[in-house]
Chain A
Amino acid sequence: MRQRKGRPRSEEALSGYLFILPTLIVFCVFIVFPVLFTLYVSFHDWPLLAGPGKERAYVGIENYRRVLADPDFRKSFINTVYYVLGSVPTGLMISLGFAVLLNTGLRGITWYRTAFFTPVVTAGVAVGLLWRWVFNTDYGLLNYAFSAITAGINYLLGAIGALIHHPLPLIQFANIPWLDSPHLAMPAVIIASIWKSVGWGMVIFLAGLQGIPEHLYEAARLDGANPWRQFWYITFPLLFPAIFFVLVMSLIASFQVFDLVYVMTGGGPLHSTDVIIFYLYQFAFERFQLGYAAAISYVLFAVIFILTLAQLRIFGRRVQYEM
């Protein structure tokens, strides 16, 4: 009796479970279990194939101790922070700036948007190769642009010199060894990554900007607010949730930079672009020390987690308030 009464509902529940089953299985096998298992592995000495002479053994926090004491890890961590600080704030400001410019009701906005967005859909490997060629020391487009600009300036200087009958010193330009210099390789990677990702933030900002009612600006203009004040008192606070979102997501993504570095520099020269995931990759899949690599991935996870929490703490209330 009770069963019959409950039948429609149990049929519904059964359908529900059946419908989520495929997703749930894959989710447990390839996301939930691996996340927990990586943690388990990180407390072990874990060669990929266990066998004689390669035993798996519990080592406690030894892997973590090793990670934190390893100067190579520290180097890759510092490089990653350099990359994050170089690319995230600049990228954010560029995308915000161009979103605001595009939102002024200009004609041809879709053309500009397409231009900005094309690098976003292009694969990291392709972008890396493309910029490797642009940054080429001897035949690259960028050095050519610089040398052309230098030639132009020198031409002007020469003309002015002739005019005032006093030869001016000319600028010497030698091709810049972008990717072959330990000092310039990381800035080059950062430039390529900004180029690849500004369109992403821009599209999000554009969507946010279109949600800000026009009458707020009209009122501000009536009160005599200039565009700069309009930006700081209307656009910025109302767009803050989107800005916060882009900031958090870009930070998370930047800490995991890999494709660009792999293709553009391979971590060199002199380990100047060795980033964390690159370091992790080498230990896990070239030396097959999975335990140590797992510890690296959890250290990275902890860093990202703490940073995200800190941002939520600092900006979170404001985001909720504005939303």
Chain B
Amino acid sequence: MALSKKKRNDLIKAILLHLVLIIAAAAMVIPFLWMISTSLKRPREIYVWPPTLLPHEIFWSNYLKSWSAAPFGRFYINSLFIALSVTGGQLITCTFAAYAFARLNFRGRDLIFIAFLATMMIPFQVSMIGAFQVIYWLGWADSYYALIVPGLASPFGVFLLRQFFLTLPVELEDAARIDGASRLGVIRHVIVPLSTPALATLGIFTFMGVWNDFLWPLVVLNSEQHYTVQLGLAIFRDSHSTVWNLLMAGTVSATLPILIVFFFAQRYFIRGIALTGLKG
């Protein structure tokens, strides 16, 4: 009798908990559904009160229209090119630097590493104006270089990978060295294969950061042909500020790639955040 009462209490508690959590999760998800629903509505269905929650008829052509109203295809290619270049480049530079900091002895190593760490605390805005002037001097204003090259070094990425490399057993490397592998061979055939989770985490976060970035592209880019997706979307907002079905179609388009990556690689996101506190 006492047991069944306890069981009943537990059940009630679980139901209440789920109820609270479902309401909260709905608050998270419903704006997204509203965005998708709006993006599929016929234009005149946008301006009715009370609003319809689901479109009466699915109006796919909003997507075609928004993609022809602004060159989103071009923005997509730009964003993909920039994000993939930064991600690939950063993975390479960070792997080498992190390996040096984790395994090699050289004078000034710890000092340089601490300098790297110290700059992680400095807000981007403090270097923004100086970086903008450097870009201008290099003649890189309004070019892909301005978005790619500064992203090739990441103190955070070096830190993340170094911490991971330190957990790998040195014996494996020694064995490979005895078998005649060079340092590069060790990195390529021992370190990199063992570090896939860390590299995946860093890669995903870098890609997401570049894809979602707004302020820096806004600062350095001028011509529409170089715009990234986020920049293009913000500018599209200015010219179509009340055409909500097209705006939401654009927003869905700009968000979809990241959401797909997120749903398939969720554990890397969660692990990355939990381990490092990376701000998404």
Closest beta carbon of chain A to B6's beta carbon, Å: 13
- Contact indicator A126/B254 (Cβ below 8 Å): yes
**A195 proximity list for chain B (CB < 8 A):** 27-28, 31
**A300 proximity list for chain B (CB < 8 A):** 123, 125-126
Q: Encode B238-270 as 1/0 by CB contact (under 8 A) with A.
A: 000000100110010011001100110010011
Of A116, A133, A262, A293, the residue contacting B234 (CB under 8 A) is A262
**A111 proximity list for chain B (CB < 8 A):** 25
Interface residues of chain A: helix, strand, loop or mixed (majority): helix
Give the CA-CA distance A28 to B66 in the complex, in Å.
41
Give the CA-CA distance A200 to B275 in the complex, in Å.
12
Of B97, B115, B136, B248, the residue contacting A19 (CB under 8 A) is B97
- Contact indicator A20/B107 (Cβ below 8 Å): no
- Contact indicator B262/A118 (Cβ below 8 Å): yes
A148: interface (CB < 8 Å): yes
Closest beta carbon of chain A to B268's beta carbon, Å: 11
Q: A38-B130, A204-B277 are in contact. Are A134 and B214 (CB under 8 A)?
A: no
**Number of A-B residue pairs with CB-CB distance less than 8 Å in the complex they form:** 275
Closest 5 CB pairs of A and B: A34-B130, A207-B274, A26-B153, A16-B106, A37-B130
- Contact indicator B131/A34 (Cβ below 8 Å): yes
Closest beta carbon of chain B to A198's beta carbon, Å: 8
Contacts of B166-221 to chain A: CB distance below 8 A:
183, 208, 211-212, 214-215, 218-219
- Contact indicator A16/B214 (Cβ below 8 Å): no
Q: A24-B112, A98-B21, A262-B234 are in contact. Are A204 and B28 (CB under 8 A)?
A: no
Closest beta carbon of chain B to A307's beta carbon, Å: 12
B84: interface (CB < 8 Å): no
Residues of A at the B interface (CB closer than 8 Å) are 9, 12-13, 15-17, 19-20, 22-27, 29-38, 41, 48, 98, 101-102, 104, 106, 108, 111-126, 129-131, 133-134, 136, 138-141, 144, 147-148, 195, 197, 199-200, 203-204, 206-207, 245-246, 249, 252-253, 255-256, 258-259, 262-263, 277, 280-281, 284-285, 290, 293-294, 297-298, 300-301, 304, 308
Q: A13-B104, A129-B247, A133-B35 are in contact. Are A147 and B50 (CB under 8 A)?
A: yes
**A120 proximity list for chain B (CB < 8 A):** 280
**B48 proximity list for chain A (CB < 8 A):** 139
- Contact indicator B274/A204 (Cβ below 8 Å): yes
- Contact indicator B20/A126 (Cβ below 8 Å): no
